[in-house]
Amino acid sequence: MHIEKIEYGPEKEGLWSQVAFALIILLTFAAAGITGLIFWKILSSDAQVASTRQFMEDVGKLFAYLLFDLAAIIYLYVKGLLQDEYVTTLE
Amino acid sequence: MNDKITFTITRRKLTEILMGLIALFFAGGALASILKYLWPPSVAKGGSAEIKIANVDEVPTGSVRKFMFNGKASILLHMPAGFRAFGSVCTHLGCIAYWKPEENLIFCPCHLGNFDPNTGAVISGPPPSPLPAIDIVVKEGAIYALKWKDPSYVKTISFYAGAA
């Protein structure tokens, strides 16, 4: 029996990597803002407002924005910070 | 003697921490939403606190407005004879009844229960008892819910547990 450890290599370097990292920070703040907005709307709205079609559409749009935001962060994380190759260690 | 403590963090690690914080934030919000749904803030249980339902001009004759009263779905109707308000949770199996203007009745879609929109009384179908009425008052151009008309009756309906 062996344990296989997969670790990513060192971080990428260069301008694209720095830009990706800066974008990740910005998008993270955006994600925090959108998340806060979603739950603030859900928690603070009374039932009469929360049962309207408009409310559900607004919250649905915010969820869609959040999903794209998170997808962008993950894309930048993988493409901008990780090396393409990874190191496999057998123990 | 070098007692300086150095702490290094990679961009990758920082990104992972930020993503973790976002996930925690999201989970916290989701948990708070679930808790609010399970334990809605109860107001005016048997008391006389006023809950604004709507402005009078927002509910013309023949129209309705849904609202929550003591954590229970309720309905305000503007009938030709005036405003009426009832809990809209059906007394049969707890479905939400709604206003059916073309038949002039409050209708429960689950088992076809029909209620009188003026009194809340059962017209037909399986509901065993009327919809509980809510005392309302109209003042300064707005309609307010005050309290259950008969709190002791509300206490006997299992689907209104905790509402009176």
For chain B, give the percent of residues with pLDDT over 70: 91
| More confidently predicted of B123 and B162 | B123
Chain B residues with CB under 8 Å of A38 CB are 29
Q: What is the pTM of this model?
A: 0.53
With CA atoms as reference, report the closest residue to B136 among B85, B68, B75: B85
- Give the pLDDT confidence score for residue A70 in this predicted structure: 93
Q: What pLDDT, on a 0 to 100 scale, did the predictor assign at position B44?
A: 45
What amino acid is encoded at B99 in this protein?
W
Q: What residues form DSSP beta bridges with B148?
A: B134
Q: How far is B1 from chain A (nearest CA, A)?
A: 32
Determine how β-strand B98-100 pairs with β-strand B105-108.
Answer: antiparallel
Residue of higher predicted confidence among A90 and B101? B101
Q: What is the mean pLDDT of residues B97-116?
A: 92
Task: Provide the sign of the torsion angle of the four alpha carbons B110, B65, B101, B81, taken in this order.
Answer: positive
pLDDT category of residue A80 using cuts at 50, 70 and 90: confident
CA A75 to chain centre: 9
A35 and B26 within 8 Å at the Cβ level: the answer is yes
pLDDT in tens, A52-79: 788 889 999 999 999 999 999 999 888 8
Give me the domains of chain B, ranges plus CATH numbers: 51-160 (2.102.10.10)
- How far from chain centre, in Å, is Cα B94? 13
H or E segment at B64? Answer: strand B64-69
Q: Residues of B near A (CB-CB distance < 8 A)? A: 10-12, 15, 18-19, 21-22, 25-26, 29-30, 32-33, 36, 53-54, 65-68, 73
Q: What is the ipTM of this complex?
A: 0.74
Question: What is the rounded CA–CA span in Å between residue B89 and residue B161?
Answer: 11
Give the Cα separation of B86 and B88 in Å (integer).
6
Q: pLDDT tens-digit profile of B62-75?
A: 899 999 888 889 99
Hey, what are A27's tokens?
């998008």
**Residue pair B68/B74 in contact by the 8 Å Cβ criterion:** yes
Q: In the predicted model, is pLDDT for residue A88 greater than 80?
A: no
